[in-house]
Structure 1
């Protein structure tokens, strides 16, 4: 019985020290406005991750060796914080008791990586949906982006992080500069 207990303890301790799978750091750069155009407007901000798989990248090294990679932090929380910072810089107050609500839905966020010792190919896709509900109506719009990158040698974690962060930043810029969205928010919140 003692030997079994010692073996179980050793197994538990080695499991705690086993190296974890590599993870990607997703840190997009939101657009920070120099002029706050929405003074006095408030909204509540919510988000949902509607992706079927919660990993952020799939790395195919050939010979049926496919590895999924997750983000170091929750992608939904990261995107909600970036959008919140962007909206605050535009002058919107983010509160829980507002009559207007903006919901960010993550529909797709994926990097497909194919690499070998000599080259790599990164295909990134992102699709977000904004749903704004106010007492006067509802606004729904999707924002998406794709990017493709090729390079020599195998893809690094930094290559994958840069690809997704650049894509998210580009989509956040599209959201910031969308006249249809900005007009609806100015008139209905």
Structure 2
């Protein structure tokens, strides 16, 4: 084993470095000025913008839309919607339901808070299989008002967007704004 390593070291040491550094046929050394990462990002951006432009023009080959009526349109794009659902993993059909389920604890019940214009009730509804959506139903205090359902976001709880919990500026409490400004 020692003799093999000795021979290998001798061969590597005797190989001229200028031969090792020669580019392969039909290639040349990469010479970029500045930040190489930004060059890469710019190139990817150009490529993706070209692909986006191409997809818009190529879409007509795959989407045979019938715009004669709303029903005809829905029927004509149904195969494309099914394919998109498959690609994105949305293969389960939604569960039909008749009513929202009110969720309440033994200490405070379903009401999570209120304001002068709405009462916030914790609710859930079936989505697929054993998966449920949850949120706050902002029930109007005035008659004939419409309900707002506040659902959680990645960074904000329904209580935050309804103005019932701290963490958001008043201008970002959009569910509360809907409930207080005539949507209810």
Query: Which structure has more helix as a fraction of its residues?
Result: 2
Of the two, which has the highest radius of gyration? Answer: 2
Structure of higher RCO (CA pairs closer than 8 Å, 6+ residues apart): 1
- Tell me which protein shows more strand as a share of its residues: 1
TM-score (norm 2): 0.24
